Amino acid sequence: MNGFYPIVLQLKGKKVVVFGGGGIAQRKLLGLLEAGADEVWVISPAFTPVIENLLAEGKVHSRRGEYTMDDLGGAWLVFAATNNKQVNEEIAADAKKLSLWVNVADEAGSSSFISPSVVRRGDLLLAVTASGASPALSMQIKQQLAAQYGAEYEVMLARLRRMRELVRSSITDERKRTTILKLAADEAGQLGHNDIDLDEWLQSLLHRIDRGLT
């Protein structure tokens, strides 16, 4: 067993620091922003053009220079993604001393967490990792998932979220709630991309339950 436990983190309001200004750091930054992280710092003497654009747009904060332990102040999550293995190991050691979660690029053994390959479809988040054994395999599986779960799932999830809110506010019977939401999940993919009236859909589901058509 590799010892890693999968979780999904809420990063809003949390300081995240990425060390490095190359391609790996760039991928980390883009993934963090896609996840909604809103206090992201990048530390490096130089940055890729894409990172420079992110800085110009005010999407991330930065300090240009070499790593110092002071850069870890107030951090909640740390990524060591420089092109210097020794520096990455120093960052990881310092972060662990401060009880910070740290990910070291291409070094799962030195990391306290792994960044999985991710497919996002609105509220749907699919993540896969080979625990550092084969990032290439993780990428292949990600591509397969991306093909299998297309853009229609974003519409489905948005619809199901609204239905869940409606059911929670209008149905008091817990068992009936569970049955309705299960039926809604079964039907959501058959409703197409057109907007539907949630109240009518709920009444249709209740009618099916009353008739025993579940």
pLDDT of 213 > 90? The answer is: no
Structure tokens at 88: 């990455």
pLDDT of 214 > 70? The answer is: no
What's this model's pTM, rounded to 2 decimal places? 0.84
For 118-147, how does the pLDDT look when each residue is reduced to its tens digit (9 = 90+)?
999 999 999 999 887 888 999 999 999 999
Q: How far is residue 95's CA from residue 132's CA, in Å, rounded to a whole number? A: 20
Decide if 11 contacts 29 (C-beta within 8 A): no
For 177-191, how does the pLDDT look when each residue is reduced to its tens digit (9 = 90+)?
999 999 999 988 787
Specify the pLDDT at position 206: 92
Q: How far is residue 147's CA from residue 165's CA, in Å, rounded to a whole number? A: 29
Looking at the chain, list the stretches that DSSP marks H as alpha helix, in order from N- to C-terminal side: 23-34, 49-56, 85-97, 135-148, 152-170, 174-188, 198-210
- 3-class DSSP assignment, residue 4: coil
Q: How far is residue 116's CA from residue 127's CA, in Å, rounded to a whole number? A: 6
Decide if 42 contacts 25 (C-beta within 8 A): yes
Structure tokens at 91: 């960052």
Name the average pLDDT for the chain: 92
